[in-house]
Structure 1
Amino acid sequence: MIARLTFAAAIALTASAAYAQETDADDPYIWLEEIKGDRALEQVDKWNAETEALLTKAPEYPLARAWARQILDDDRQIAMPDTIQGEYVTNLWRDADNPRGVWRIATLLSYTDGAPEWRTLIDIDALGKQEEQSWVWHGANCLAPEYRRCLVSLSPGGTDADVVREFDRETGTFIEDGFTLPEAKSNVAWFDEDTLIVGTDEGPGSMTDSGYTRLVKLWQRGTAFSSARLVAEGKQEDVAISGFSVMDGGTRWRFVNRSPSFWTNQISLLGEDGRTIPLPLPDDAEFEAVLDGQVIAKLNSPIETARGNAQAGTLVAWSLTDIAAGRTSQPEVIFKPSASQAIEQVSASETILWIKLLDDVSGSLIALAPAEPGWVSRGFDLPENSTVTLASTSGKGDLAYVTVEGMLTPPTLYAVSTKGEPRAVASVPAQFDASKFVVEQRFAPSKDGTKVPYYLVRPKGATGPLPTLIHAYGGFRNAQTPKYLTAEPYRSGPLAMFWLEQGNSYVLANIRGGGEYGPRWHEEALREKRQNSFDDLHAVADDLVAGNLASAGKIGISGRSNGGVLVGAAANQRPDLYGAVISGSPLIDMRRYSKLLAGASWMDEYGNPDVPADWAFMREWSPYQNLRAVADYPASFYYLSTLDDRVHPGHARKMAAKHQQLGQTVYYHEYREGGHSVGSDHAEDAKRAALLLAFLNREIGDSE
């Protein structure tokens, strides 16, 4: 499988270059889309075996695998607060003894004091063994304000589909006659103690073309689901429709959200009688929170308010009381970011709105409180030039837990309130000697002149070009912020740290398509503008070469999911620049993506390949259609899961087969479980980190 293409062979094969597979009939590898087909899985097993046979022989492999497992299972990791439930906090804990995790609870007081007294609620590994199921935790929704009854979601093997079962937090047991839903991509929320807001797979007509729920129903306790009352429905071509509820002090507000497309939402209040009242939010606004009887949203396009124009990226609020009463509600501007800023996270506690803000990609935290007139703001003294993440906020009281970290600085968890200074609760011990490295933020000029920020980490005192790994994403408004180097931007554990420890360089690129600078940064890479994100990645690599920091051919690029489109297109466009490609759970065949699993939901992001005008620009960069015979094409490593029910495994399989047919260097590894995240436990993540390190060393390392 792993072979180099000679220049002569490249010339001979060029006749079958781009755009060869534009219909299903033209695609010789469409059989690899049979997810569990015998022939397809036989090919997967063959590729897996070949990749492992080659890379596990690398001398660094066993050490890297053991070290990665040690880091991932380290019991000194922060027990992150998944939810604050009144006077308690919950956490999912995974370590060597609990690879799938234990869901547990402690008092808020003991947790904030740094000495939590944990009580196990569900041991996922033990439950899976008892029920002979490969359960993967998908979370729990507990009914406020008592939080005793919880809707627990468990996925068989890590797929997006899961089973929902009602659980009693006090007794630590599943409720025998409680609410239960079979495996499906369901949406479930509490209406009240005896009623659920439910959308689930009920057979033909109940799911959208994107594979998500099309119907919203109210289901009464003790009744068959077949008798549940329909309260809202979407169209077949919608992305989804779902219900949800939000606590605002002692008030439970209930909503229905219909998503005609990935980037539009039509949200309505759901009344006690089951009737719906549309909210006045623009369709492209993002619902963020409810506080003090107001619904808060982030704008993605300008609107007029009573005090003038509110620009995209601004936080605005409407009175829910007015809306529920049928009165016209005028929006109020509550926070406007500057040109270099973007609002990345918003969360409400009892009386405070917490905002995680980016400023040239560096994070900060502010608290907003409603006042007369307007809103008052407070900032907090947290380490500068860091990534700040809102972990959880309290429904009762005004407490927020936030983590602060940098590429060379391990995470610290802070308890933050408006009554004092942030208080460190827990921190991760250093996993490597950061004094050996230096990190800097740089800006690369893209093709159209846009300045693209990126973070570069190198060994201190290094001179001249080094083998370099660039990670990027560039889509869906997802900002890529600098995390501690043992984190897993590719679901590969501490790969970046291993790479640096060997004397190489690592880069995190903040290319367009993400949310680093708010809506405009995303919009500049949408649909026909997608090439901007590829140009941005090329610009970062070219900037490194121009600065004598890296060499063409000694640069690896990495991307997951949407990042698969990115690195695939980049390798096709600049095979001279890159020497290695890491592509995880990737989108690749953009001609057929909208027909595979959840692909139809992303057409607002990429375009509709069945519309000729859209395909005209998509065909210019679709990785699968543009792969051609090129001498010294960069070596590619694809990793994914058979059970990924979001991005179809056929994308990576077909691309690997085409590489092989063209005689190009390709490595492939597909886990049977793990879903879109790939790998269902730390053992699998550690193995992947070691395989990828061996791959990079072999293809672009100085010792290759």
Structure 2
Amino acid sequence: MPLRSPAALAALLLLPLAPGPAQAGDAMTRTEPTSPANAARLIAAYPETRRDPLVETHFGEPVADPYRWLEADVRNDPAVADWVAQQNRVTGAYLDRLAARDWFRKCIRELTDYERFGLPVKAGNRYFYLRNSGLLNQPQLFVRDGLKGTPRLLLDPNTWASDGATALDAWKPSQDGRYLLYSVQDGGSDWRVLKVLDVRTGQPLTDTVRWAKFTQLAWVGHEGFLYSRFPAPEPGQTFQQASYNQALWFHRIGTPQEADELVYATPDRPELGHAAQVTANGRWAVITSSSGTDARHAIRVLDLRRSGGDRWTPRELVGGLDHDWQLVEALGNRMWFLTNRDAPLYRLVSLDLDRSGANWRDVVPEGPNKLEHASIVGRKLVLNYLQDATSRAVVVDLAGKPARELTIGDIGTASGFIGRPGDSETFYSFSSFNRPSTVYRLDMASGEVTPFAQPELTFDPARYVVEQRFFASKDGTRVPMFLVRSKAVAAAGRAVPTLLYGYGGFDISLTPGFAASRMAWLEAGGAFALANIRGGGEYGKAWHDAGRLANKQNSFDDFIAAGEYLIAEGITGKGQLAIQGGSNGGLLVGAVVNQRPDLFAAANPAVGVMDMLRFDRFTAGRYWVDDYGRPDREPDFRVLRGYSPYHNIRAGQDYPAILVTTADTDDRVVPGHSFKYAAALQAAQIGSRPHLIRIETRAGHGSGKPTDKAIEESADILAFMAEWTGLKLP
């Protein structure tokens, strides 16, 4: 059960476009494409944005920041709220005229309307799992007594808010399945409220814990649970205050939050975050500490058999913050970890806690592919590797001796393999660009794989071909890319409007996965491409290092080269290429549009990090210095100033059509980034194409977004892309 550190959780920025459903639209009414005259009228209709004469000098260089006032929280500043309302009116009026909007809304809705399941989690004799019947705004949580038992609804988040914007986030049953601990997310915020449910009766307990963020959920028997929280924010700073002083706490069932016990904190180092896991045998709590988004952790353990003050006295296993250490599991006094110490692609090691000192022993040494995940199920280890951004799974014994490789499909992503020592089974899911997630049950004794939940689809996956290609970047580096088209389009060999997606940061790997919005683009006759650019984690530490800090330009060069490759190979034509990325990917889109505005017809930077000189001043931004550098250090400032999207808009160039998207409750990448960037675009002389911003309300960075909001947003984006790439609807 590998764990991402609190800081790494803060870097898990929005990846793909959320597939969502929406309300059915009327039959599509076609209108004329936007003419130059109409575009000119739109530019004239941009809201007037106040421009302040604010200039600061950094390391001898004057830097203008005329739109800093847009950083203020939209909930607390009437001027910002008015600006948002005006921008949404202009954008809404433009999107309302797009010919493809109703078609995409209807198509995405139909593609989303199928029953889908999450991975089952076994606790005692109970099986817990998420299910969405199709078009529910939020998935429901069910439980079965026994694998073949009758499903019983435990939690229905769709009843929690009239707008569907309150979501069930994480959840964890106690070891025997008696209680369920779960976290509630409201309006897309990163803040969580923790609650407890009696599984037998289905009734909630009185326990409520607030100000949890970037936390794991860890039961300590039936007594209570370990969780991580921050101090309550200052008034008016709930969605903007920088995240410092995270501490680990113990909450005892049946007591108020004020009685919670402080387990571990580092007040002398407020930048450190701390999270806890409890091993399946219930004896050990493992504390993971980190300072940024890099996989560099300190590890401490608590012996939960102790009582009194000794119980919360940790024993250090790994000091410093030098390498990644991810707990896999414990049997008795032996623990297994994944680590990249002396192994950039990771290895599996074990440690005997009865012996003093560091007695790490290799169980599975580093191999040619990145070892992403490991779990102990029954008396076996299940290892999940990443080979050219595609999953490969192997089962070995506890000594690391190979047993068998699992056949999990062709190009796609396998995830899950969750279980505990002694379990006879595990579950995993497999998905690809043309295949929604199917959940499988693996019998650990026989190796038999049987479907647990298969979706009934409204389209034929066999009509589409998924390829993996490789292209050369500017410096000759070989970069992988997935390409998805209908077989008819591929066979015809004609150039079609293509949507290119990228991320390239924080050691995060982009792997094949299904999204209804992507499939709608394919159903409309377009092509989809995903570039695994440097900065991600697809090939381990070296790939990550090659696309961050002073090497960040490599990420941009890779993405530009991906676009050039698609045009050179005749997959798309000049004037037919649209690009998209979320969060760090929004930064990517903003940067490459500034550097190569001629290459792209349309762009969607979503919830992007757009002001690289002030990103570290808000909420989780201070964690990201591991990938971006520190704006207050001159060498880093020079690099950041050189590519910051907000600061490098090139007046006099003909820019592509741009639809910026963000949300008012995004407290991961605060919306001020997108507000300032959009204002700067609209003020610059960068051609006649539209440069608009769409600002969702009661939504955040992406997680927990209601299905109806997600579908409306996706339809707007794809209609905008279709308008400016010339995509002809069927």
Decide: shared fold, TM above 0.5. yes
After superposition, residues 424-439 of structure 1 pair within 5 angstroms as 424-439=451-466
Cα distance in 1 between the residues matched to 2:62 and 2:201:
55
Which residue of structure 1 lines up, in the alignment, with residue 713 of structure 2?
688
- Asked if residue 42 in structure 1 is aligned to residue 67 in structure 2, the reply is no
Matches within 5 A, 1:413-562: 413-418=439-444, 419-458=446-485, 459-484=489-514, 487=515, 494-562=516-584
**Superposition map of 1:159-308 within 5 A:** 159-176=189-206, 179-185=207-213, 187=215, 189-203=218-232, 210-211=242-243, 213-221=245-253, 225-235=257-267, 238-248=270-280, 250-263=281-294, 264-271=296-303, 272=306, 273-280=311-318, 283-292=322-331, 293-302=333-342
CA separation of 1:21 and 1:162: change in aligned 2, threshold 3 A: farther
User: Which one-letter code corresponds to 2:429 in the other structure?
Assistant: T
Structure 1 residues 630 and 83, CA gap change in structure 2 (3 angstroms): farther
Contact 2:504 2:584 in 1 (8 A): yes
Partner Cα distance (2:408, 2:139) in 1: 31
Q: Secondary structure at the match of 2:137?
A: strand
Q: What CA deviation, in whole Å up to 9, does each residue of 1:81-126 have, x standing for no partner?
A: 252223222223334674233221124422xxxxx62101122222
Q: Which amino acid aligns with 2:262?
A: L
Compute the displacement of 1:300 (Å).
3.0
- SS of the equivalent of 1:680 reads coil
Residue 348 of structure 2: SS of its match in structure 1? strand
- AA in 2 matched with 1:508: L
1:628 matched to 2:653? The reply is no
Shift of 1:678: 6.2
The offset of 1:615, in angstroms, is: 0.8
Which whole-Å CA distance do the structure 1 matches of 2:40 and 2:613 have between them?
27
- Cα distance between partner residues in 2 of 1:148 and 1:2: 63
8 A contact 2:211–2:229 mirrored in 1? no
Amino acid at match of 2:70: L
Task: Return the TM-score normalized by structure 2.
Answer: 0.83
Alignment of 1:78-157 (within 5 A): 79-95=117-133, 98-110=136-148, 117-128=150-161, 135-144=166-175, 146-157=176-187
- Give 2:110's aligned residue: 70
**Deviation of the 1:70 alpha carbon:** 2.8
Structure 2 distance, partners of 1:360, 1:688, is 31
List aligned pairs for 1:562-641, cutoff 5 A.
562-641=584-663
Structure 1 residues 497 and 504, CA, compared in 2 at 3 Å: closer, same or farther?
Answer: same
**Alpha-carbon distance between aligned partners in 2 of 1:465 and 1:542, rounded to the nearest angstrom:** 13
**TM value normalised by structure 1:** 0.86
C-alpha contact 1:242 1:256 (8 A) present in aligned 2: yes
Indicate how the Cα distance of structure 1 residues 24 and 423 shifts in structure 2: closer, same or farther if over 3 A, else same: farther
Deviation at 1:38, TM superposition (A): 1.8
Aligned to 2:434: 408
Whether the aligned pair in 1 keeps the contact of 2:661 and 2:694 (CA below 8 Å) is yes
Q: Distance in 1 between matches of 2:366 and 2:390?
A: 14
Q: Deviations over 1:323-347 (max 9, x none)?
A: xx5x1232222234543x2222333
Q: The residue matched to 1:632 in structure 2 has which SS?
A: coil
Aligned length: 657
Partner SS, residue 659 of structure 1? helix
Structure 1 residues 395, 240: closer, same or farther in 2, change over 3 A? farther
1:20–1:571 distance in 2 versus 1, CA, 3 Å: farther
1:71 CA displacement? 2.5
Distance 1:161 1:240, change over 3 A: farther
TM-fit CA distance, 1:275:
0.7
Match of 1:390 in 2: 416
Letter in 1 for 2:721: L
Structure 1 alignment gaps of length 5 or more: 7-18, 111-115, 303-310, 488-493
Letter in 2 for 1:88: R
User: Take 1:545 and 1:4, find their aligned partners in 2: how far apart are those partners?
Assistant: 29
1:134–1:156 CA contact under 8 A, matched in 2: yes
Native 8 Å contact 2:653 2:685 kept in 1: no
**1:48 is aligned with what amino acid?**
N
Write the letter of the residue equivalent to 1:173: Q
Cα 1:46/1:295, change in 2 over 3 Å:
farther
For the Cα contact (< 8 Å) 2:328–2:335, is it kept in 1? yes
The residue identity in structure 2 corresponding to 1:155 is Q
Moved more, 563-572 or 543-552: 543-552
CA contact (8 A) 1:641 1:679 kept: no
Partner Cα separation in structure 2 for residue 576 and residue 127 of structure 1 = 47
Give me the whole-angstrom Cα distance separating, in 1, the residues matched to 2:284 and 2:396: 21
TM-superposed CA distance for 1:449, in Å, is 1.5
How far residue 276 of structure 1 moved from its aligned partner, in angstroms, is 0.6
TM-fit CA distance, 1:193 = 2.2
CA contact (8 A) 1:241 1:256 kept: no
- Call closer, same or farther: CA 1:285–1:377 in 2, change over 3 Å: farther
Match of 2:15 in 1: none
Aligned 8 A contact 1:356 1:390 in 2: no
Distance change in 2, residues 1:265/1:98 (3 Å): same
- Give the conservation status (yes or no) of the 8 Å contact 2:165–2:699: no
Amino acid paired to 1:233 = A
2:377 maps to 349
Q: In the alignment, which residue of structure 2 is the partner of 1:363?
A: 391
Distance 1:24 1:94 in 2: 53
- Indicate conservation of the 8 Å contact 1:238/1:259, yes or no: no
**Could you tell me how far 1:570 is from its partner in structure 2?**
0.9
